[in-house]
Amino acid sequence: MPSHATILVVDDDPDVLTAARLLLRQHFDRVLTTEQPAEIELLMAGTTIDVFLVDMNFAIGRNSGAEGLHWLNRILSQDPDAVVVLMTAFGDLNVAVQAMREGAADFVLKPWQNDKLVATLSVAAKLRQSRARINALSVMPPGEEMVAGSTRMREVMDTVARVADTDVNVLIRGENGTGKELIARALHRQSSRAGKVLVTVDLGAVSETLFESELFGHRKGAFTDAVSDRAGRFQAADGGTLFLDEIGNLPPALQNRLLRAIESREILPVGSDLPVPIDVRLITATNQPLEAMVADGRFREDLLYRINTIEIRLPPLRERLEDLPALVSHFISTCARKYRLPEKSLSDDAMSALRRHRWPGNVRELSHAVERALLLSDGDVLDAADFRLVRGEPSARQSLNLEENERRMVTRALDEAGGNISQAAAVLGITRAALYRRIEKFSL
């Protein structure tokens, strides 16, 4: 199925645009093209663009990449959360590193290989979705990173404040939807590296065959598809912060390489004999039981010790219900502005229902529930029925089997969505990948 994303391709060669349009419209909802980079901002004003694929050289005879960097900065100045992939026929590792340090999500070489271009843009589209979720989780009042009224969240934010301005490795743990990436951004923003780049890698979205090249880069000729040097994420983050999300998905063979990179502060690109020194602050995150994975031999114990010098545990929403009213109020205001709707109040019955719900998708699920209720409700006040919560959801005092309850919720969501994975995941407030894991877990 096509990805729910809009791609804008900018190149002065009409043949390139035609080739991109014919390829990408098979994989993405909407593909826009233009030969004139000056039209970028006009197109941004008229539609939401998820991924920009922009050539780096527009004038004949130029190959410095300066034009691409110029338009990269123009795009990011208009939309700081924009996801930009730059492309060029001239492979230059230094230009690629500079582009990624200035905010590019990735760098591709022309002529591209179709499957690799689609894979790169698919990962970029997921990054855009991730940034959208982070924006949805960002909360009022201005200047605060998260709603932190509850005791548990105040402790979390106090830890962030204490360790942010150090280079200590931090492991963020918590269930899906608790805001792990938001905490990583808070750590970076409050650190001495705030003026440098924060590079995020979702290890759950990278195919296992690309892990090594993605993290450490490669040299031209290192393997069949390596037609040019490529900078890895460690090099792109040099001087700044590298955030490795879903660290539990790192294959065992690469766990050893990551451990050596942390200890030696240098990396070895694929196909190279010369190590490259790196200066990064490492932040990792997971929702997996790493200790159990260590016991099973799936995760290196010495790597676990290295990445969790400081460990921050994010409580699930069901354990920080004190924050529920403030979170609901924020999401109502955010969604009302987004859809140009009047803000609505919440009935006491609705708030009671929200407090009884177990929130397996945590704050992310809550944001989706509020958005859905605001869009579908007819009255001026949001009632319990507007939230379409699963009936019979156990309260915190009941001792029903949580796994069976989770299975029931997943089954119901799939039934209501007619088997549509994207719709079911949206209803549950989790990612498609997380839903696929639950489908496999419960043999649905």
pLDDT at 138: 46
pLDDT tens per residue, range 329-342: 988 988 888 888 88
Instruction: Give the CATH fold of the 3-134 domain.
Output: Rossmann fold (3.40.50)
Q: Would you state the structure tokens that stand for residue 100, as one six-digit string?
A: 């990624």
What pLDDT is stored for residue 97 in this prediction? 73
pLDDT digits (tens, 9 = 90+) for 272-311: 888 889 999 999 999 999 999 999 999 999 999 999 999 9
Tell me the fold of 317-395.
Helicase, Ruva Protein; domain 3 (1.10.8)
CATH of domain 151-313: 3.40.50.300
The predicted structure's pLDDT at residue 148: 67
Task: Assign 397 a pLDDT band (cuts: 50, 70, 90).
Answer: very low
What pLDDT does residue 188 have?
93
Residue ranges of domains in the chain: 3-134, 151-313, 317-395, 399-444
Is the pLDDT confidence value at 426 over 80?
A: no
pLDDT band at 317 (very low <50, low <70, confident <90, very high): very high
According to the model, what pLDDT value does residue 129 have? 77
Are 427 and 413 contacting, i.e. CB atoms less than 8 angstroms apart?
Answer: yes
Whether the CB-CB separation of 69 and 56 falls below 8 Å is answered with yes
What is the pLDDT confidence band of residue 395, given thresholds at 50, 70 and 90? very low
Q: What mean pLDDT comes out for the span 220-246?
A: 79
Strand, helix or coil for residue 125:
helix
Domain 399-444 sits in CATH at 1.10.10.60
Mean per-residue pLDDT for 192-197? Answer: 88
Q: Is the pLDDT assigned to residue 396 strictly greater than 60?
A: no
Those residues whose C-beta lies under 8 Å from the C-beta of residue 338, and which sit 6 or more positions away, are none
What pLDDT was estimated at residue 398? Answer: 38
Each residue of 55-83: pLDDT tens digit? 888 765 456 778 888 888 889 888 878 89
pLDDT for position 349: 92
Q: Judge whether 200 and 245 are in contact, CB under 8 Å.
A: yes
Q: Is 317-395 the same fold as 3-134? A: no
User: Rounded mean pLDDT of 403-415?
Assistant: 74
Mean pLDDT is lowest, of 255-264, 410-419, 431-440, for 431-440
Give the integer Cα–Cα distance in Å for 159 and 138.
18
Residue 221 has pLDDT above 50, yes or no: yes
Asked whether the predicted pLDDT for residue 443 surpasses 70, the reply is no
End-to-end Cα distance, the chain: 20
Helix (H, G, I), strand (E, B) or coil at 138: coil
Give me the percent of the chain exceeding a pLDDT of 90.
Answer: 31
What CA–CA distance (Å, rounded) separates 81 from 435?
A: 26
pLDDT band at 38 (very low <50, low <70, confident <90, very high): confident
The stretch 227-234 carries a mean pLDDT of 75
Burial of 395 (0-12, 13-18, 19+ CB in 10 A): exposed
Q: Does the pLDDT of residue 177 top 70, yes or no?
A: yes
pLDDT value at residue 144:
38
The burial class, CB within 10 Å (0-12 / 13-18 / 19+), for 292 is: exposed
Top-ranked range on mean pLDDT: pick from 50-59, 227-236, 422-431: 50-59
Q: In what helix (H) or strand (E) does residue 218 lie, and over which residues does it extend? A: none
pLDDT at residue 382 in the model: 93
